[in-house]
């Protein structure tokens, strides 16, 4: 999860992420969706053309055209995935809306347009965004214990840091930790 949290400070809180499989808004949903997508496929973008346009007094639109190489996870556990190609090249244009200067501004829009594949309709992209971004983000306090079993200790370190901030001089850490779990899972 750490590699997915590194680029998050440049995203605005209400960022809109409109990539053909997903239509998301809010930074937390984008982070969780990117984390869950890594279990489905890896991707690499090879840029070929970059255009920067000023669209307002303090807004910019950066358009990057290139090839998105999608490497789907192929496993013997799901035999149908073995029929997928090793890499799927997708000609695409990524539009990034920046509010503020290009150096210090916040990204408010990420829109991806595919050129050689059809895009899903809006309601299906919004449904995918709800299923793979918004709902998992809402349930994150519950499922955040599971990645520790596969070696990802991001959530454990985050809980420990939060615990130290909430209870700097705790005399009964187990009781205070149990109260935190109840508080985190019952509050939004």
What's the pLDDT score for residue 113?
Answer: 92
Q: Residues of the chain with pLDDT > 90: what percent?
A: 23
**pLDDT, position 49:** 92
SS3 call for 152: coil
Does the pLDDT value for residue 45 go beyond 80?
yes
* Contacting residues for 83 by C-beta, under 8 A, at least 6 apart: none
- pLDDT confidence of 142, banded at 50, 70, 90? confident
Higher model confidence: residue 147 or residue 106?
106
The whole model's pTM is what? 0.72
Average pLDDT score, the chain: 81
Token look-up 């279990």 returns 39
Q: Please say whether the dihedral angle defined by the alpha carbons of residues 12, 18, 19 and 24, taken in this order, is positive or negative.
A: positive
Q: Which one has a higher pLDDT value, 11 or 186?
A: 11
d(Cα 138, Cα 184) in Å, to the nearest integer?
11
* CA pair distance 10, 31, nearest whole angstrom: 12
Residue 177 has pLDDT above 70, yes or no: no
pLDDT band of 175, cuts 50, 70, 90: low
Report pLDDT for 35: 78
C-alpha to C-alpha distance for 90 and 86, rounded to whole angstroms: 13
Q: Which among 116, 109, 138 has a CA at the least distance from the CA of 68?
A: 116
How much is the pLDDT for 144? 72
Q: Would you state the pLDDT for residue 14?
A: 87
């Amino acid at each position: 999860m750490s590699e997915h949290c590194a680029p998050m400070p440049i995203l605005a809180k209400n960022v809109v992420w409109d990539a053909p499989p997903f239509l998301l808004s809010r930074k937390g949903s984008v982070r969780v969706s990117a984390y869950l997508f890594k279990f489905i496929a890896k991707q690499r973008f090879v840029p070929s053309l970059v255009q920067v346009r000023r669209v307002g007094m303090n807004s910019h639109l950066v358009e990057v055209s290139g090839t998105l190489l999608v490497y789907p996870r192929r496993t013997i556990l799901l035999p149908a995935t073995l029929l997928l190609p090793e890499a799927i090249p997708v000609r695409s244009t990524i539009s990034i809306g920046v509010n503020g200067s290009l150096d210090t501004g916040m990204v408010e829009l990420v829109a991806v347009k595919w050129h050689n594949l059809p895009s899903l309709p809006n309601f299906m992209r919004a449904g995918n965004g709800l299923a793979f971004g918004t709902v998992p983000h809402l349930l994150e306090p519950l499922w955040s214990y599971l990645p520790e079993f596969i070696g990802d200790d991001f959530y454990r370190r985050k809980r420990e840091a939060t615990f130290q901030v909430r209870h700097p001089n705790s005399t009964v850490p187990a009781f205070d930790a149990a109260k935190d779990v109840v508080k985190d899972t019952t509050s939004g």
